[in-house]
A and B are shown apart, each in its own frame.
Chain A
Amino acid sequence: MTAMRVDAKVVMLGKESVGKTSLVERYVHHRFLVGPYQNTIGAAFVAKSINVGDKVITLGIWDTAGSERYEAMSRIYYRGARAAIVCYDLTDNSSFQRARFWVKELQTFEEHCKIYLCGTKNDLVEGDRSARQVDFHDVQDFVEEIGAQHIETSSKTGNNVDALFMKVAEDFSNSAFELLPEEKGVNLDPKKNSYLYTCCHH
């Protein structure tokens, strides 16, 4: 058997076209695809191993579509996630409102999921400050209130992308053992995971 070993499930959430797929592409394949927008259909899964100290942690990343059509399905994508990267586009205020929706959703259903708010397309606001529609400090206040993390990235330049996923892996590595004392890594078979989830709960 070649069952996929995944230590931590990470889910990408956020409005369509904020740059979730580009973040994953940059992190996993070290590239930025130009050309017409390609909608993600359903969700795309990719596993990536990362060294944290002397440990190797495999992140199982779920890149979701973010479209309303699949909203009722989104729980199957984020259930049991240990980290959620909730993306918003720094040049689009409505995308931040959408990010708040996802945060609420996660707070309600996924208590053990760490939230990382990620402001994307940083390169666009670097060149032209007037393009920025989401204030850094406003997000910072929000993030402190909900106990989440906050970062601004650019998949185009690569700025902060590795740092984001590294942070996710480190946080997981630090928390993994306190949460699941006798389990070395979680086989993220969704079924097993929902079982784990309930035993942590009750």
Chain B
Amino acid sequence: MAADVHSKGVTWDTPNGNLAPVEHLPNSRSESPTPGLVEGTEPGAGQERAMFVHTQSFEDLTADVELTGSRPSETEEVEEKEQQREGEGGGGADTVDEPRQDVQAIVREKEEDVTSETWRSHKKHVFVLSEAGKPIYTRYGSEEALSTTMGVMMALVSFVEADKNVILSIHADGFRVVFLRKSPLVLVCVSRSGQSDGELWRELHYVYYQILSLLTLPQLQRVFQQRQSFDLRRLLAGSERVTAGLLRLLETDAGLMLNATMSLPLCSTTRNIVCTSLQAASSKNLVFSILLAGNRLVALIRKKEQHLHHTDLHLLSNLASSSSSFRQGEGWTPVCLPKFNASGFFHAHISYLEPSSDLCLMLVSTDREDFFNLSDCKQRFLERLKKRNAYQALKEALHSPTYPVSQVGIPELWHFVYKSKSSGLYTSPELPVPYRTEEEQERLMELYQYLHSRLHHPTRPLRSIYRCTNTENLLAWSTSGFELYLCFSPLATKALAMSAVTKLLKWIRKEEDRLFILNSLTY
């Protein structure tokens, strides 16, 4: 059985000559209403070269969904004042008590009874099925128990398609059902979270890319070409934790929404040593060397002309954090970076700098025989770091991976998220007291997502939006250089919010070499 799945022409490697084409970096700098803040000059902008594929924002992810309607050129500003929003964004009060998504919970969720009230009351379900209507993945409960449900979903999709239409979403009674068709797969999200269709599509795309990163697109297509009724769970076995981790990350990490990565705050001297040491520890077939502290980027070195996509980086970092097996020794695994090139595998050497450290090094190579070369690269990197006395400083920086918002010096400012568009990096302070619980943290993320979906609305995008609720006042602002989301105490006024932006931008500028990675090195 197994053999016939794999035997024919599996592209296990991404040959050197076959790396993704270089995407065009922005060279046209659009007019900006804020002098000095055009793309490339905003606080946190990288010098000269960018290290990531340049992405507009989430439309890059959903570009292939074909959201109807084109972008009008004029943008507007909007002010919203609402006491109680229903459904969208402000549903904090009536959120369901979701079980903590820790490891135990994931195990329990799989055993959940799909006819129970608990199962039905989950805020967000995610299903993946094959075009034959076979269940492939469910976030809660077991796939077997849901085969009828998934059969119905597929029937719905086919029914609409029979008329040459495409089903995108169904809105009903506080629920949204969003469909993503990615032949040979169908992905469905059933959500009560109040997120927009666009946000839910983005999340489904992530799940799709997650599957590609394990299998590659050609392999996925081949197994279904050979047998339409193939049970894909066989090939995805053991990846449940990876997917569960990703869905969790989507709810908590603004980087997945912004198409950006947070960097670990680090003094520039140490960062430079870390970067140059990593740069020096190169090997012929290395494409990316990535040093992460949790999901924060410490350093990224690239092969010349090659750019990493945020989606791929988030997938890599989620992969590393979802199995303790990388702490056991040095990991060596095939991995596809679907945004970079969905048709082949890279080979990743994944290990921690020390067994109990949070510093995870990922060395991505095109050569499946490269393990010992990369193992050697890691040793050379570590030796150099220690010789130049940067290792200790780096470890100390991990003790304060974030900063309190009070450093900015605006008392009414509770929290913010700032993305520098040209560097693809974002910075955000630690969550203040009102948002420490998991529910509150999710609620704030949902508010940001709401603002984000308004700024990036496919037909009516906004340049800025100011929104008042009972519990906080929010301001979101997008220019060609940055994207900024601010959360204020409900006592703050709009005038104060506007002046806070200027003050915050000044502060970020002052701190930029600590908060961002300003130079992008290649081997």
Contacts and interface: CB of A to CB of B under 8 A. Distances in A.
Interface of A: 1-4, 16, 21, 24-25, 28, 33, 35-36, 38-46, 61, 63, 65, 67-73, 76, 188-191
A67 B233 CA distance: 11
Nearest to B345: A73
B286 interface: no
A76 B369 contact: yes
A4 B375 CA distance: 8
B330 A46 contact: yes
A63 B2 contact: no
List 5 tightest A-B contacts by C-beta distance, closest first.
A42-B333, A46-B329, A72-B6, A39-B238, A40-B325
Given A1-B376, A46-B328, A69-B215, A191 B369 contact: yes
Given A21-B325, A44-B328, A65 B6 contact: no
A70 B334 contact: yes
Interface in B1-21: 2, 5-7, 10, 12
Given A40-B325, A41-B319, A45-B332, 14 more contacts: A1-B376, A16-B238, A24-B329, A28-B329, A39-B325, A40-B328, A46-B328, A46-B329, A69-B239, A70-B333, A71-B6, A72-B7, A190-B369, A190-B371
A2 B334 contact: no
Contacts of B104: 36
Contacts of A190: 369, 371-372
17 contacts: A2-B383, A41-B238, A42-B332, A42-B334, A44-B329, A44-B330, A44-B332, A45-B330, A45-B332, A61-B329, A63-B325, A68-B235, A68-B237, A69-B215, A69-B235, A72-B6, A190-B371
Given A69-B214, A189-B372, A44 B326 contact: yes
Nearest to A25: B328
A57 B106 CA distance: 41
B223 to A, nearest CB: 11
B368 interface: yes
B331 A42 contact: yes
Contact of A68 (B2, B241, B383): B2
Contacts of B369: 76, 190-191
Nearest to A65: B238
Interface in B328-345: 328-335
Interface size class of B (residues with CB under 8 A): 35 or more
A98 to B, nearest CB: 10
A67 B331 contact: no
B329 A4 contact: no
Given A39-B241, A63-B329, A67-B238, A76 B324 contact: no
Given A67-B238, A69-B215, A188-B372, A41 B383 contact: no
Contacts of B238: 16, 39, 41, 65, 67, 69
Contact of B325 (A38, A71, A191): A38
A170 to B, nearest CB: 23
Contacts of B5: 68
Given A2-B383, A72-B10, A41 B323 contact: yes
Contacts of B24: none
A28 B107 CA distance: 28
Nearest to B215: A69
A24 B334 CA distance: 21
Nearest to B373: A189
B323 A38 contact: yes
Interface string B220-247: 0000000000000011111101100000
Contacts of A63: 325, 328-329
B103 interface: yes
Nearest to B348: A42
B463 interface: no
Nearest to A48: B329
Nearest to B1: A68
A16 B10 CA distance: 23
Contact of B331 (A35, A44, A71): A44
Contacts of B324: 33, 38
Contact of A73 (B319, B334, B371): B334
A69 B237 contact: yes
A27 to B, nearest CB: 11
B328 A21 contact: yes
Contact of B103 (A2, A28, A35, A73): A35
B249 to A, nearest CB: 17
B379 interface: yes
A40 B369 CA distance: 19
Contacts of A43: 331-333
A188 B368 CA distance: 15
A176 B74 CA distance: 76
A73 to B, nearest CB: 6
A44 B331 CA distance: 4
Contacts of B106: 36
Contacts of A2: 376, 379-380, 383
